[in-house]
Amino acid sequence: MTTELQEPTRREARAPHQDVPTGHQPGRVGAGLFDPKQLLKSFPDAFRKLDPRVMVKSPVMFVVLVGSVVTTVLAVKDAGDWFGWVIAAWLWLTVVFANLAEAVAEGRGKAQADTLRKAKTDTVARRLVNGREEQVPGTGLAIGDLVVCEAGDIIPGDGDVVEGVASVDESAITGESAPVIRESGGDRSAVTGGTKVLSDRIVIKITTKPGETFIDRMINLVEGAARQKTPNEIALNILLASLTIVFLLAVVTLKPFAIYAGADHQTSLIVLTALLVCLIPTTIGALLSAIGIAGMDRLVQRNVLAMSGRAVEAAGDVSTLLLDKTGTITLGNRQAAEFVPVTGTTAAELADAAQLSSLADETPEGRSIVVLAKEKYGLRERHQGELEHAGWVPFTAQTRMSGVDVEGRKVRKGATGSILAWVREEGGTVTDEADSLSNRISEEGGTPLLVAVKDGKGARVLGVIHLKDVVKDGMRERFDELRRMGIKTVMITGDNPLTAKAIAEEAGVDDFLAEATPEDKMALIKREQAGGKLVAMTGDGTNDAPALAQADVGVAMNTGTSAAKEAGNMVDLDSNPTKLIEIVEIGKQLLITRGALTTFSIANDVAKYFAIIPAMFAVAYPGLDKLNIMQLASPESAILSAVIFNALIIIALVPLALKGVQYRPLSADRMLRRNLGIYGLGGLIAPFIGIKIIDLLLSLIPGIG
């Protein structure tokens, strides 16, 4: 807790003398585009997914599966028809390639899950019953049980520390080797089953059932087993199913037209099936599930666990971003930068009193005051042990000040209002100078702490300590980028309005909420949502839980309480509030990737139409030969080329579906023009080039050209 401020410093508490790694979890699998080993491992899964009960979940690919079965049966009946066998083979490959896209995406998740499974061990828990310990299997614990863990013990289940403080190794979850501190009360009380206690003794209250622990949920989610289709995916599936029905009706009506035109031999059931498969949006139908799984996978690569695909998608539509100031926008550790004495007091006198009142303050801010007094004014660093008869006054949220009574003097430092009130209570007089100095520092974006003393001269203010919280490099540029994305940024802080305003202007956020309470956060979220906006926010404490639950995207810190993690729909394993900006970008990338590949797929269908239809009916209607702009060798070659291209384009687009289309912060209309220009136009041109090349190759084979 920061010494004199209302707002806690939300940073991970780590054990001393440990270097904090900056990389992601070493056990996690990288997001390589197309790992050949992963591809080979995924092929068996792709064939297992040919089960009709699995395929029916994707209407488009289920139609392709049925078409594959039909063409295979017809090819068997007419064993001498090579054309039927080749069409059947490529239709089966189309289905397998579609399943392969999903299998590769799931396979990467399964590789990550294998790492997590290593953290799951069958542990023996030391359960407390009426003050006595009894050993029970970890699987036998129930919600509300109290268990004891000491150095070397594996924590048997998820829970909150209710007694003690300990250093815990969470590398199995976060991948970071540096231990973290977990303690009762506050916002660093949550512990995860499978992690290891390195020092001291803690008592944990179990908050989850066996099989429903954090690691269990992570395994299910990264494997894709618990992934449900999002509303946008369901809507797109309905659209694709509708297009499939339309094309099915269109293809069925071609048969009577062909009989009337005397081209019945050109419209066999095999040809019509191939035509249907080429015209329906198979490309996006094949890649749709893989795109969703890959979106969650990209979050996992950044040590963020999304509880549902809906949360990832919602992140892409977020229009208001609520960000904590401390540790997110600023570095978080406020440092003493200057001692500003009032008239009649020397800077050395102020520094001496400030250092004396900070000896019992172990926060980074308190330590920085001691160091500044030593370095700038040559005051040696004293210790509490040297002042045997001193009466230390600890900081409390109620008094908002701390200090010491020693050698007939009372020294206090703290928030402006609290110190001024103390001086008056001690019978001293207060001048306007101290108040004006505090306001000036606040307006500059600093945090003022007043220092006062009561001695033989009476109670009086000596001056102000100027604490600075530095805005992180590049934050203004990132907020400018978010603004171009159409996202409003709101800084939330417990600082006074003047300090908040100065930091907000320096960082470049759109708005700020000063002296924020949990009720204020909730009211702000509801107000934004009432205006039709989606809201994202971060939190780590129990008092953040209502707001996290209310937000459309609630990112809970892994260091936070169980209540916060249960309320949010994402958990940041690194406990880095800045990650919220990355989450929004990943969500937008997911939506853009889906939109881009849908555009490409539909444009593909138009091009394939011009490849097949003219070639099929040019014999009966010679005028249609003018539409055969690719000058394909024969009707059989045209149909076969289109079917082969239809299968190959799926496998070619798998890397793009897994990696995602590169996101750029553009307005909606510019993004639409860009998608239409690249993926719409590309989807029209690619089939003409691809089908023509395949046709030229097929024409070299005797009997086809």
Annotated binding site for Mg(2+): 540, 544
Do residues 544 and 521 lie in contact, with contact meaning Cβ atoms separated by under 8 Å? yes
Strand partners, 336: 467
CA angle, residues 313, 317, 319, in degrees to nearest 5: 145
Give the rounded distance of the alpha carbon of 597 from its chain centre.
22
Please give the Cα distance from 498 to 419 (Å, whole number).
18
Rounded to a whole number of angstroms, the CA Rg of the chain reads 33
Angstrom distance (rounded) from CA 564 to CA 69 = 51
- DSSP per-residue string spanning 513-548: E-S--HHHHHHHHHHHHHTT--EEEEE-SGGGHHHH
Q: Judge whether 684 and 603 are in contact, CB under 8 Å.
A: yes
Neighbours of 24 (CB within 10 A): 17
List beta partners, residue 448. Answer: 466
Beta strands 180-183; 196-197: pairing state? unpaired
Binding site residue list: 361, 365, 395-402, 413, 540, 544
Question: Known catalytic residue: 122?
Answer: no
Q: How many Å apart are CA 661 and CA 558, to the nearest integer?
A: 29
**What is the rounded distance in angstroms from the CA atom of residue 588 to the CA atom of residue 599?**
16
Name every residue whose Cβ is closer than 8 Å to that of residue 142 and which is 6 or more positions away in sequence: 206, 209
Distance of CA 52 to the CA centre of its chain: 34
306: three-class secondary structure by DSSP: strand
Write b or e for each residue in 227-264: b if 16 or more Cβ atoms lie within 10 A of its Cβ, otherwise e: bebbebbeebbeebbebbeebeeebeebeeebeeeebe
Residues 6+ apart with CB under 8 A from 447: 5, 334, 441, 466, 467, 468, 469, 495, 499
Q: Which amino acid is at 636?
A: E
The sign of the dihedral angle between the CA atoms of 619, 624, 626, 632 is negative
SS3 sequence, 95-126?
A: HHHHHHHHHHHHHHHHHHHHHHHCCCCCCEEE
Query: Active site residue: 153, 158, 324, 695, which one?
Result: 324
3-state DSSP percent of the chain in helix, strand and coil, to 5: 50, 15, 30
- The structure tokens listed for 97 are 């390639």
CB-CB contact of 643 with 275 (8 Å) = no
Single out the residue of 689, 633, 643, 657 nearest to residue 83, CA to CA: 643
User: Do β-strands 511-513 and 488-492 pair in parallel, antiparallel, or remain unpaired?
Assistant: parallel
Give helix then strand counts, H and E, for the chain: 23, 21
Residues forming the annotated binding site for ATP? Answer: 361, 365, 395-402, 413
CA distances (Å), origin 325, targets 433, 579, 621: 29, 14, 72
C-alpha–C-alpha distance, residues 474 and 17, integer Å:
29
Per-residue tokens: 134? 């009894």
What is the torsional sign of CA 681, 683, 686, 688? negative
Are the C-beta atoms of 95 and 647 separated by less than 8 Å? no
Positions marked catalytic = 324
